[in-house]
């Protein structure tokens, strides 16, 4: 394990010699135009990443994105965007919706959430990323309070438990929901799941995003995760994309980042997938369902928000 950490650390150190995220911008996000915009939003440092809705002094921002197919009229992504806009207005949260995540770089679009978060994090005290297949199911709950009060004992990997706090601390800057791969031949390097990430505004958060991005400068980095993270249906051979890079950065420097991270048990922030969802959970991830089933599930919540006539 020590050898592995040194190897990953060396790769990260080399990549981090390039400062900041180096991404290709491909125009403005005209696909966002169908979602309401609040002109009180701050000027973004990258013209292609601008808040969709920004109320006065929000204490939390939600960034949400996917593909044009997911955001086509009537699809679950489009419905989810309107659900989140309604929720953000109720709670006084900021919202960013990106309907074409692939435009930010030539990498797999999953990587580009790092760029979006890096551009937005200075604007809000806490920033939440959600994939397009994560739906808000309990609009009466405060997402901010939910995050601050969650347990952090979900990793279930002995080698990391000495570093990870059991509860949210004053200096916690990173929340990553746990997965169900803590052990065995198919265990993840760090037992975290994709779909959602939370960052507290800090220099550490921006540095962490940069280091994770630069792990991907090596196009073959993902091969070391291949035994545990085989591509699933619909995924290309580079899986686990940025998720594997997150594992690498955490594993290489556990004293620096894990001690200020929170890994809640599956379901405490978001369900691992639809199969593991329970009615008490606030966020429901439907990644294990086919597109038509995702549309049906998200449509139920869309109707409950009174948004049926808005499409």
pLDDT digits (tens, 9 = 90+) for 196-212: 999 999 999 999 999 99
- Stretch 87-97: mean pLDDT: 97
From the candidate CATH numbers 3.30.1180.10, 2.30.30.90, 3.30.420.10, 3.90.550.10, the one assigned to the domain spanning 2-310: 3.90.550.10
Residue 165 phi/psi, 5-degree rounding, is: -70, 155
Residues 6+ apart with CB under 8 A from 281: 137, 138, 267, 270, 271
Placement of tokens 């438990």 in the chain: 161
Q: Is the pLDDT of residue 14 over 70?
A: no
Q: Is the pLDDT of residue 172 over 80?
A: yes
By mean pLDDT, which of 32-41, 120-129, 203-212, 249-258 is the weakest? 32-41
Spacing of C-alpha 300 from chain mean position? 23
- Stretch 85-109: mean pLDDT: 96
Residue 290 near residue 146 (C-beta atoms within 8 A): no
Would you say how long the chain is, in residues? 311
For residues 36 and 172, which has the higher predicted lDDT (pLDDT)? 172
Q: Is the pLDDT of residue 9 over 90?
A: no
The overall average pLDDT reported for the chain is 82
User: Residue 24: which pLDDT band, with cuts at 50, 70 and 90?
Assistant: very low
User: Residue 22: which pLDDT band, with cuts at 50, 70 and 90?
Assistant: very low
User: Residue 285: which pLDDT band, with cuts at 50, 70 and 90?
Assistant: confident
**pTM summary value:** 0.83
For 153, what's the count of Cα atoms within 13 Å in the CB-facing half-sphere?
3
pLDDT score for 44:
38
Count of Cβ atoms closer than 10 Å to residue 124 Cβ: 24
Residue 46 near residue 55 (C-beta atoms within 8 A): no
For residues 228 and 72, which has the higher predicted lDDT (pLDDT)? 72
Cα 30 to Cα 49: distance, rounded to the nearest angstrom: 11
Q: Is the pLDDT of residue 157 over 70?
A: yes
Domain ranges of the chain: 2-310
Which value, to the nearest 10 degrees, does the dihedral of the CA atoms of residues 262, 268, 273, 279 take?
-170
The fraction of the chain above a pLDDT of 70, given in percent, is 78
By mean pLDDT, which of 38-52, 164-178, 264-278, 291-305 is the weakest? 38-52
Placement of tokens 């995050």 in the chain: 147
Cα 180 to Cα 63: distance, rounded to the nearest angstrom: 25
* 220-224, Cβ contacts within 8 angstroms, sequence gap of 24 or more: 221/11, 221/245, 221/248
For residues 15 and 168, which has the higher predicted lDDT (pLDDT)? 168
Q: Is the pLDDT of residue 21 over 70?
A: no
Cα 308 to Cα 84: distance, rounded to the nearest angstrom: 14
User: Residue 270: which pLDDT band, with cuts at 50, 70 and 90?
Assistant: confident
pLDDT score for 12:
46
User: Residue 34: which pLDDT band, with cuts at 50, 70 and 90?
Assistant: very low
Q: Cα separations (Å) of 214 from 55, 114, 276? A: 33, 11, 33
- Stretch 29-57: mean pLDDT: 58
Q: pLDDT tens-digit profile of 227-268? A: 777 766 666 678 899 999 999 999 999 999 999 999 999 888
Give the residue from 50, 46, 53, 63 showing the smallest Cα distance to 105.
46
Residue 197 phi/psi, 5-degree rounding, is: -150, 145
């Amino acid at each position: 394990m020590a050898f592995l950490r040194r190897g990953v650390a060396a790769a990260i150190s080399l990549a981090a010699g390039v400062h900041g995220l180096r991404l290709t911008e491909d125009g403005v996000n005209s696909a966002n135009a169908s979602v309401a915009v609040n002109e009180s939003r701050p000027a973004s440092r990258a013209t292609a990443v601008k808040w969709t809705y920004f109320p006065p002094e929000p204490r939390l921002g939600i960034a949400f994105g996917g593909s044009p197919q997911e955001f086509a009229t009537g699809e679950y992504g489009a419905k989810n965007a309107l659900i989140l806009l309604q929720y953000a207005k109720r709670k006084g949260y900021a919202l960013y919706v990106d309907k074409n995540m692939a435009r930010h770089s030539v990498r797999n679009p999953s990587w580009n959430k790092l760029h979006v978060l890096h551009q937005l994090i200075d604007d809000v005290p806490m920033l939440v990323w959600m994939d397009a297949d994560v739906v808000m199911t309990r609009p009466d709950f405060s997402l901010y309070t939910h995050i601050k009060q969650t347990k952090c004992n979900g990793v279930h990997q002995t080698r990391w438990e000495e570093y990870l706090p059991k509860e949210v601390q004053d200096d916690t800057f990173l929340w990553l929901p746990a997965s169900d791969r803590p052990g065995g031949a198919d265990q993840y390097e760090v037992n975290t799941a994709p779909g959602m990430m939370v960052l507290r505004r800090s220099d550490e958060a921006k540095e962490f995003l940069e280091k994770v991005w630069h792990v991907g400068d090596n196009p073959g980095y993902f091969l070391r995760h291949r035994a545990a993270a085989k591509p699933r249906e619909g995924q290309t051979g580079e899986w686990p994309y940025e998720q594997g890079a997150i594992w690498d950065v955490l594993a290489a420097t556990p004293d620096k980042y894990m001690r200020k991270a929170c890994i809640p048990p599956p379901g405490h922030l978001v369900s691992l997938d639809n199969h593991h969802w329970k009615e008490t959970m606030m966020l429901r991830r439907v990644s294990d369902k086919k597109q038509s089933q995702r549309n049906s599930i998200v449509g139920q919540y869309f109707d409950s928000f009174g948004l049926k006539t808005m499409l």
